[in-house]
Amino acid sequence: MRLHMIAVLTLLGVVNYAAGIDYDGWLNIKIEHSLNCGHERYCSRGNISLKSIRAGSTSVIEQIPFTKQHIEELKSIAEVNGFYTMRTVVTSADNSKGTEFFSSVKADAFLENGLSDVINAWVLPNGAVIAVSFQVTNSSQPLLKGASSHKINSNFFLRYVEQAPVPDTASYIQKLEREREAREKGDVKDNRSFLAKYWMYIVPIAIFVMISGATNPEPAGAQGGR
Amino acid sequence: MGLLSIHFKPNFLGLLKCLNKLNWFIVFFSLINLSVCIYEDQIGKFDWRQTYVGRIKFSQFDTVSTAKKIIVATEENVLAALNLKTGQVVWRHVFESTSTGNIQLLHVTEKVVTVTGSNPYLVRGWDSSTGVLLWEWSLTLQNEEQSEFSEFWVQNNMLVHMLPVFGSHVEVSMYNLLSGQNRGATSKLPATWTNDGCVLSAPYYTCISGGVGTQQLLSLDVTSNAVQLLSRPISEYVTVNTYDGGLRPLDTNNVIPAFTLDDKKIVLIRNNQFEILKTEVVDPSASVALVDTMHGQVILQAWFDENEGFTVKAHNAATGAEVPELRVLEPELKLAEPELAAATCSRPRDQLACRLLLTGADDSVHLMQQGGRVIWSREEALANVVAVEFVELPVSDLDAAIESEFDQKEGSIWAAFTRRLQTQFQQLQTLIQSLQKGEGEEDEAPPALVRDYFGLHKIIVLVTDVGKIFGMDNLSGALLWQYYEPSLDTENVLVYTRRTARYPPYDAYVTIVGKHEESGNGLIISLNPITGALIGEKLMHLDVQLLQCALLHRPDNEKLYALILLDKDENVQILPGSAAPLVENMYMYVAEKNTARVQGYALVYDGRSLWARRTWQVQLGGGGAARVVLAARKAAAERVHSPGRVLPDRSVLYKYLNPNLVLFVTEGPDPLHKDVVVATCVDAVSGAVVAAQTHRRARALPLAIHTEHYLAYLYYNDKHRRTEIATLELYEGQSRWLGAGAAFSSLAGRRAPSVERQAYILAAAPAAAATTRTEKALTDKHVILALSSGALVEIPWGYLEARRGGLAEDGSVIPAQASPPELLLGGDARLNYNRSLARPARVHAAPAGLESTSLVLATGLDLFYTRVAPSKTFDLLKDDFDYYLITIVLAALILATYSTKYFASRKILKMAWK
């Protein structure tokens, strides 16, 4: 089978995520699907290989192009609103047997978006992969009609399971110490203005004066006129 | 200055007018409820607690002290005294739930003596009237392996410990009961005839030994100085051919050593001789007891027969004649496998008065008088509640008629008119009826089970470990109905409300999905939660084990939500079968507990049958040894009131509200960091991981909260040796991904939400966690934690927020430096004030009809129910609202207004005349 090479370089958004990885080594993800397989349940769709999990930035994706038969089968799945399922087997230096994953996308969405998908692989700090999931991306390029073969546009992202935050005791103790020091130095002088300090007493008095003034201006005017 | 003095001039009229305006403020402020805690007189007004002890293991009547009691020791490792007249707990001691708390012996004389633990044992003495600990000493055995076969009893103020080594010898030691001093060395009695079928009937140790056909009945008084072995061929008592080795001690016996042979004969040991009684065991399942009365010893037998009901028969041990006064035949009492836990007989005035304490297979306890009158009953199954569901009550008939009137939309104007006339005539009739009834005597019937105005009255369906299902009134805690299914295995049992009582004429419908005790196949019980009657599928035995089950998201035309079952062979069943065409966009997930493999299925209906197609699979442990500790999803049909939260700079941060999100917490070993806890948020439809994080050197606890856009889970930090709570909040960001009102789809769009994380220290040992729930989700959400100290604590989500501090100019979150890293659990956060809960296990919250209020039930050894108002009772007047005062104040103010108006007009008139 003629292999078509598509190398997609993916840059990970945050490089320092990888600092949580205790382990480094190569990673190989074999992708299989059940389109145009003949008698087999699953046959190869492609392969993703990584030199280093920790670096993670470069991965090589090799995938077969889809022929007419592939597209026809995909279309027949899409007619019943069915799922297009991928089987992936992940092997690494200390997992030669491989771990099996499944993931599915809606066949019609995959066709509509011109065979574009995103592959996310989640890695634990010990280098083990916990999930490989496929999701269709929104792509503006629909499938070319009449073409004999179609490329699969895949983007691969290696996602690291992060270290959870720990209760932040250090900065709190620092804050308490700062407060203690401030107290030892002497009370902080309240340098707000008179109004800012005592507005809560002034406002009710002012309201009371205004109400009593506004309700009865006539007698006051009459008295003044007399 | 002159102008000011005019304004300040005392002006009586102006002041009155001013007060007139102020009175509305007074009314307004008096409505604001400022109370936060409850007052002393409110104790027990909104809450109740029920105390339980568990299934009874040993029990004895305390006839010595003046206040009559029953002392019980239970399977739940509880020692308690029950009031003989009411059955209430007088005092209770809850021991450790592990094997160190196991009660091995209960001996009641003037003092209560218990032996607890399993090597080392603790021997304790308790005051029987107060339950105060009097003395304690420990006992450690050298022989570690055999210690589980130890037997204890008290004889002549000595504690006797017997340790049989089967096929070899019997070790007997005696200790001073009070001090623990050993009387002498341990005596070893040679006994090669012992085996694990031997029984102890103190002080005789009895075995059946020998080859088939030549079996011997052997018995040895292990405390006597001279070893005297009683030996008789078994053929003297039973026919050897049918004998299958049944040797049982009597259920209650503190009179004379005795046992039953082959569930047929009763054998006593008197004067170092076997003595076979004339009375035979009536029913193989009968519980046999030997009681001492003034007229000699009496053999009591109790059993339950499907046709005849519950029966007790008494025979005189010496003559074999039946004692007719003690005969009980209660066809009504459904007590499966009854056991005579304790019995006592006295003869005050030439009349035999016996009290029998009976326990059933359903863990219920009944105190019965001779003649069959049940003095009190306790449902000890409630000490082990495994699932809870709050169910709404139906509306009253009158309201239902009004609702049905407005439901019918079709029909001409005349039809509508005649219908209205009819219903109004009906309403008039019921009004007249109620007036007539009011003139007559007061209605004695208990209030009907109908929905109240605020929706605070509900029924709690409780599924217990033993397989008994209860319906409980939430306001009083009274049991309304019960249903016992002996074959129900309640491990991981699920309860679904498939139809609420909102749709008359259809009944409310609750389904309990469990397992069959022996085969492990699915067992489905459907009942009406209002009456407890079986409806629909009734009791349904499936012929296959179940993997997963769920409710269909849309009801059929009878308003019933179909139950979908995924079985071990990945076949799908739907109940009722007619609902299969409704299946569309239905997904399920199955998590394997021990391998941490999670699989997702899409359910497809192809016009003929329903089948499941596996669509995704993830390995949450990465293929290594990890196990799923918990999977937490959002409550079904959860409402979210606000799709975003407003930030200090008036922009809106939109919440990531994925209804299909499931939180998995897994735990596994790690070569570098000992144990590692991984929390993964998985979209259960697409199988995509949304967020994940790990904790090093930690152990997972099966406690989590998942609601709206936030998640919290608890874990034990091994490094710092403390419990911590990790919180996650998921946000879409400053702009909305989908338009307002658009349905969320897991399969479309691949955007990842931003995750806010935080962790806090919890200086307590949590046992259960839940969030409050309200009808429209308008009210704040509080987290309710049950602590092993017995407290039920309410924590506002604000304390746990992952997103602390404001948002800086550039959009980044300012780190929260001011917040203490430890969650402060103040005394006022405690919902159950001084009513501590023994061994809390679960907390459930359910919405009330009133938006501000959430109903909370904590289960465990005790049941505690209360209601909470997380945002205060904004839609309810406070409990002690003074209606009289406000009426008087209002009336006086109106009066004052009009009188001043009158006086003012007179004054103006007078002034005009001047």
Domain extent listing, chain B: 9-33+878-913, 249-372, 381-393+455-543, 394-439, 561-619
State residue A185's pLDDT score: 82
Indicate whether A200 and A132 sit together in one domain: no
pLDDT average, residue stretch B787-814: 74
Indicate whether A180 and A102 sit together in one domain: no
State phi, psi for B328 to the nearest 5 degrees: -130, 135
Q: Residue B748 in contact with residue B737, Cβ under 8 Å?
A: no
pLDDT in tens, B633-646: 998 878 888 888 88
pLDDT in tens, B413-457: 888 888 888 888 888 888 888 787 665 544 445 567 888 888 899
Within 8 A of B672 by CB-CB distance, chain A residues are 22, 126
DSSP letter at B44? T
Between CA B893 and CA B898, with CA B895 as vertex, the angle to 5 degrees is 110
State phi, psi for B578 to the nearest 5 degrees: -70, -15
Q: What is the largest CA-CA distance in chain A?
A: 115
Of A7-11, A182-186, B528-532, the range with the lowest mean pLDDT is A7-11
The reply to whether A226 falls in a domain is no
Cα–Cα distance measured from residue B201 to residue B204, given in angstroms and rounded to the nearest whole number? 5
CB contact under 8 A, B622 and A126: yes
Indicate whether A144 and A187 sit together in one domain: no
Of A1-10, B381-390, B673-682, B833-842, the range with the lowest mean pLDDT is A1-10
State residue B74's pLDDT score: 94
Q: Which residues contact residue B810 at a Cβ distance below 8 angstroms, ignoring those fewer than 6 apart? A: none
| Mean confidence (pLDDT) of chain A | 80
Q: Which residue is listed with tokens 């709570």?
A: B725
Q: Compare CB distances from A166 to B15, B617, B759 and report the shortest one's residue.
A: B759
Of A8-12, B158-162, B605-609, the range with the lowest mean pLDDT is A8-12
- Going by C-alpha positions, the residue among A82, A128, A122 that lies closest to residue A106 is A82
Within 8 A of A204 by CB-CB distance, chain B residues are none
Higher pLDDT, B680 or B881: B680
The reply to whether A87 falls in a domain is yes
pLDDT in tens, B134-173: 999 998 887 777 778 888 988 888 898 888 888 888 888 8
CB contact under 8 A, A167 and B619: no
Q: Compare CB distances from B688 to A135, A172, A175 and report the shortest one's residue.
A: A135
pLDDT average, residue stretch B868-886: 85
Give the total number of structural domains in chain A. Answer: 2
CB contact under 8 A, B761 and A167: yes
**Helix segments in B653-774, DSSP class H:** none
State residue B890's pLDDT score: 96
The reply to whether A225 falls in a domain is no
Whether A97 shows a pLDDT value over 90: the answer reads: no
pLDDT average, residue stretch B752-756: 89
State residue B15's pLDDT score: 57
Cα–Cα distance measured from residue B617 to residue B596, given in angstroms and rounded to the nearest whole number? 11
With bands split at pLDDT 50, 70 and 90, how would you rate the model's confidence at A14?
Answer: very low
Indicate whether A12 and A56 sit together in one domain: yes
State residue A222's pLDDT score: 44
Whether A127 shows a pLDDT value over 70: the answer reads: yes
Q: Which residues contact residue A127 at a Cβ distance below 8 angstroms, ignoring those fewer than 6 apart? A: A21, A22, A23, A24, A25, A53, A92, A94
With bands split at pLDDT 50, 70 and 90, how would you rate the model's confidence at B34?
Answer: very low
State residue B58's pLDDT score: 92
With bands split at pLDDT 50, 70 and 90, how would you rate the model's confidence at B91?
Answer: very high
Percent of the residues in chain A that have a pLDDT greater than 70, as a whole number: 82
pLDDT average, residue stretch B598-604: 93
Q: Residue B203, preceding bond cis, omega within 30 degrees? A: yes
DSSP letter at B793? E
Cα–Cα distance measured from residue B264 to residue B282, given in angstroms and rounded to the nearest whole number? 8
Q: Report the C-alpha dihedral over residues B614, B619, B625, B631, rounded to 10 degrees.
A: -80
pLDDT average, residue stretch A193-216: 86
Indicate whether A143 and A47 sit together in one domain: yes
ipTM over 0.85: no
State residue B628's pLDDT score: 94
pLDDT average, residue stretch B555-577: 90
Q: Which residues contact residue B413 at a Cβ distance below 8 angstroms, ignoring those fewer than 6 apart? A: none
Indicate whether A209 and A114 sit together in one domain: no
Q: Which residue of B has its CA nearest to A118?
A: B750
Cα–Cα distance measured from residue B490 to residue B909, given in angstroms and rounded to the nearest whole number? 87
Test mutation, A10, A130, A135, chain B, max B CBs within 10 A: A130
| Mean confidence (pLDDT) of chain B | 85
Sheet containing A129-136: order of strands: A129-136, A116-123, A153-160
Of B51-60, B196-205, B559-568, the range with the lowest mean pLDDT is B196-205
**Half-sphere exposure (CA, 13 Å, Cβ side) for B688?**
23
The DSSP-derived string for B276-297 is: EEEEE-SSTT-EEEEEEETTEE
Q: Residue B462 in contact with residue B382, Cβ under 8 Å?
A: yes
With bands split at pLDDT 50, 70 and 90, how would you rate the model's confidence at B95?
Answer: very high
Annotate A104-162 with three-state secondary structure.
Answer: EEEHHHHHHCCCEEEEEEEECCCCCEEEEEEEECCCCCCCCCCCCCECCEEEEEEEECE
Q: Compare CB distances from A164 to B15, B694, B820 and report the shortest one's residue.
A: B694
User: What are the CA-CA distances from residue A214 to residues A208, B98, B702, B907 (Å)?
Assistant: 10, 77, 66, 20
Kind of pairing, strands A162-163 and B689-696?
parallel
Cα–Cα distance measured from residue B542 to residue B511, given in angstroms and rounded to the nearest whole number? 14
State residue B242's pLDDT score: 66
With bands split at pLDDT 50, 70 and 90, how would you rate the model's confidence at B241?
Answer: low
Percent of the residues in chain B that have a pLDDT greater than 70, as a whole number: 90
- Going by C-alpha positions, the residue among B612, B709, B725 that lies closest to residue B665 is B725
Shortest distance between the Cα of B581 and any Cα of chain A, in A, equals 15
pLDDT average, residue stretch A194-210: 89
Q: Which residue of B has its CA nearest to A163?
A: B694
> Count of CB contacts below 8 A, A vs B?
166
pLDDT average, residue stretch B806-810: 48
Strands, E assignment, B246-400: 247-249, 252-253, 258-261, 265-270, 273-280, 287-293, 296-305, 309-316, 328-330, 339-346, 353-359, 364-369, 374-379, 385-392
Q: Which residue of B has its CA nearest to A224?
A: B6
Partners of B715 in beta bridges: B700, B724
Q: Residue B734 in contact with residue B652, Cβ under 8 Å?
A: yes
Q: Residue B858 in contact with residue B792, Cβ under 8 Å?
A: yes
User: What are the CA-CA distances from residue B754 to residues A75, A163, B710 (Å)?
Assistant: 35, 16, 12
Partners of B515 in beta bridges: B489, B522
- Going by C-alpha positions, the residue among B178, B257, B264 that lies closest to residue B224 is B257
Whether B676 shows a pLDDT value over 60: the answer reads: yes
Indicate whether A35 and A82 sit together in one domain: yes
- Going by C-alpha positions, the residue among B97, B153, B259 that lies closest to residue B788 is B97
Q: Residue B204 in contact with residue B257, Cβ under 8 Å?
A: yes
Within 8 A of B696 by CB-CB distance, chain A residues are 163
Q: Which residues contact residue B497 at a Cβ distance below 8 angstroms, ignoring those fewer than 6 apart? A: B389, B391, B508, B509, B510, B529
State residue A4's pLDDT score: 43
Cα–Cα distance measured from residue B73 to residue B395, given in angstroms and rounded to the nearest whole number? 44
CB contact under 8 A, B671 and A163: no
Q: Which residue of A has its CA nearest to B800?
A: A167
Q: Which residues contact residue A222 at a Cβ distance below 8 angstroms, ignoring those fewer than 6 apart? A: none
The DSSP-derived string for B438-488 is: HHSSPP-SPPP----TTS--EEEEEEETTSEEEEEETTT--EEEEEE-TTE
**Half-sphere exposure (CA, 13 Å, Cβ side) for B527?**
25
Q: Compare CB distances from B6 to A138, A159, A220 and report the shortest one's residue.
A: A220
State residue B446's pLDDT score: 55
- Going by C-alpha positions, the residue among B313, B295, B311 that lies closest to residue B303 is B311
Which of A126, A143, A160 is the endpoint of a domain?
A: A160
The reply to whether A201 falls in a domain is yes
State residue A151's pLDDT score: 85
Within 8 A of A125 by CB-CB distance, chain B residues are 676, 694
State residue B105's pLDDT score: 92
Of B73-77, B339-343, B524-528, B663-667, the range with the lowest mean pLDDT is B339-343
Higher pLDDT, B411 or B314: B314
Whether B601 shows a pLDDT value over 50: the answer reads: yes
Residue type, B357: L
Whether B77 shows a pLDDT value over 80: the answer reads: yes
User: What are the CA-CA distances from residue B805 to residues A158, B297, B724, B795, B801 (Å)?
Assistant: 31, 78, 21, 19, 10
Q: Residue B164, preceding bond cis, omega within 30 degrees? A: no
State residue B812's pLDDT score: 52
CB contact under 8 A, B623 and A122: no
Indicate whether A51 and A153 sit together in one domain: yes
State residue A8's pLDDT score: 37
Q: Which residues contact residue B544 at a Cβ distance below 8 angstroms, ignoring those fewer than 6 apart? A: B521, B522, B567, B568, B569, B571
Q: Which residue of B has its CA nearest to A174?
A: B817
Cα–Cα distance measured from residue A138 to residue B179, given in angstroms and rounded to the nearest whole number? 82
pLDDT in tens, A135-153: 888 776 777 777 778 888 8
State residue B7's pLDDT score: 46
Test mutation, B18, B597, B608, B750, chain A, max A CBs within 10 A: B750
Indicate whether A118 and A184 sit together in one domain: no
Indicate whether A124 and A205 sit together in one domain: no
State residue B805's pLDDT score: 54
Within 8 A of A215 by CB-CB distance, chain B residues are 14, 17-18
Q: Residue B567 in contact with residue B546, Cβ under 8 Å?
A: yes
Of B89-103, B145-159, B531-545, B851-865, the range with the lowest mean pLDDT is B145-159
Tokens of B44: 């027990």
With bands split at pLDDT 50, 70 and 90, how would you rate the model's confidence at A57?
Answer: low
Whether A10 shows a pLDDT value over 90: the answer reads: no
Q: Which residue is listed with tokens 């169910």?
A: B391
Structural domain range at position A203: 169-216
pLDDT average, residue stretch B712-720: 93
State residue B442's pLDDT score: 47
Higher pLDDT, B627 or B318: B627
Cα–Cα distance measured from residue B153 to residue B115, given in angstroms and rounded to the nearest whole number? 9
State residue B523's pLDDT score: 93
pLDDT average, residue stretch A21-27: 80
With bands split at pLDDT 50, 70 and 90, how would you rate the model's confidence at B898?
Answer: very high
Cα–Cα distance measured from residue A5 to residue B48, given in angstroms and rounded to the nearest whole number? 71
